[in-house]
Chain A
């Protein structure tokens, strides 16, 4: 006799999330039974995206590759305890972020430069010390030229590491404040302050090239 679940499934079209979770569940079951093709499929499917995450955080190709390998090995070891509450892709993404952050921490050797000089200055009465100039174009146009995109990347790389990391985790990897705080071992308020400062500092670094009147 058909179960209630299967009857409901046949009557109601599945949404893409439900389909994805079901295909994740099937993949997980194949992984847990040690099927080599399942491992290969998992690695082939997710390596490009995880490598992109690791490259953004680590900025070094070899370190990024090491991080991806370590992330997969951590995931394989944790297969038994993964309950399937999130997508496999989300789970792997979190593991890769954590591995990359651990690597970053182990690499941090010298005290980072202060971000203060990149924050806006104000007069005693609270007004801007300098009028912030408008920029020559909107973001869509500023992204058109390869050399401008490379300049923006270089500016992000100039940010102090603790701020650059928060900017990437929040604005690019789209971790929520709680996840970011947990991954970095800081409070949510620290994450909030660092993100705002990182964005302000990036604005200051971009301004000389993008202000109106500069070609």
Chain B
């Protein structure tokens, strides 16, 4: 990528930038853009935070005993197996 990276391009390829799948040349151009664009720095940080927040809330339960075995469901599954 020999041209100057725009904010739109930076945002469009942000996932590739963060996952390290850009070429060395493209990565250098993106780093150059980040060095002069506080808007894209803020966008990238808040994008990363959003990913982290999404993962965190969906993998933890608000219930005190999330790993409790639901007895009724276990019994229903075992009973259904006998009908197979």
Partner of B42 from A39, A134, A192, A210 at Cβ < 8 Å: A134
Does B15 lie within 8 Å of A73, measured CB to CB?
A: no
| Nearest B-chain residue to A149, judged by Cβ | B57
Does A167 lie within 8 Å of B43, measured CB to CB?
A: no
Please encode chain A, from 172 to 215, with 1 for each CB lying within 8 Å of some chain B CB and 0 for all others.
10000000000000000000100110011011001100100000
Closest chain-B Cβ to A57's Cβ sits at a distance in Å of 10
> Any chain A CB within 8 A of the CB of B64?
no
> Any chain A CB within 8 A of the CB of B84?
yes
Q: Report how many residues on chain B are interfacial, defined by Cβ distance under 8 Å.
A: 42
Closest chain-B Cβ to A98's Cβ sits at a distance in Å of 17
- Contact residues in A for B62 (Cβ distance below 8 Å): 146, 149-150
Give the contact-size bracket for chain A.
Answer: 35 or more
Q: How far is the CA of A133 from the CA of B67 in the complex (A)?
A: 38
**Given A77-B84, A139-B56; A48-B69 close (CB under 8 Å):** yes
Does A128 lie within 8 Å of B43, measured CB to CB?
A: yes
Closest chain-B Cβ to A41's Cβ sits at a distance in Å of 11
> Any chain A CB within 8 A of the CB of B1?
no
Closest chain-A Cβ to B43's Cβ sits at a distance in Å of 4
Does B15 lie within 8 Å of A202, measured CB to CB?
A: no
- Contact residues in A for B53 (Cβ distance below 8 Å): 139, 142-143, 152, 202, 206
Known: A72-B80, A207-B46. 11 other contacts (CB 8 A): A39-B78, A52-B61, A56-B58, A122-B11, A127-B6, A131-B42, A143-B56, A153-B57, A167-B54, A195-B15, A196-B14
Give the interface of B toward A (CB within 8 A): 6-9, 11, 14-15, 38-40, 42-43, 45-47, 49-62, 66-70, 73-74, 76-78, 80-81, 84
10 nearest A-B pairs in the assembled complex, by CB-CB distance: A126-B6, A203-B50, A139-B52, A126-B8, A132-B43, A122-B8, A139-B49, A132-B42, A128-B39, A172-B58
What are 18 sample pairs from A and B whose C-beta atoms fall under 8 A apart? Answer: A40-B78, A43-B74, A51-B70, A69-B73, A69-B77, A125-B6, A126-B6, A126-B8, A127-B6, A128-B7, A131-B39, A133-B42, A143-B56, A156-B58, A171-B55, A199-B15, A199-B47, A203-B46
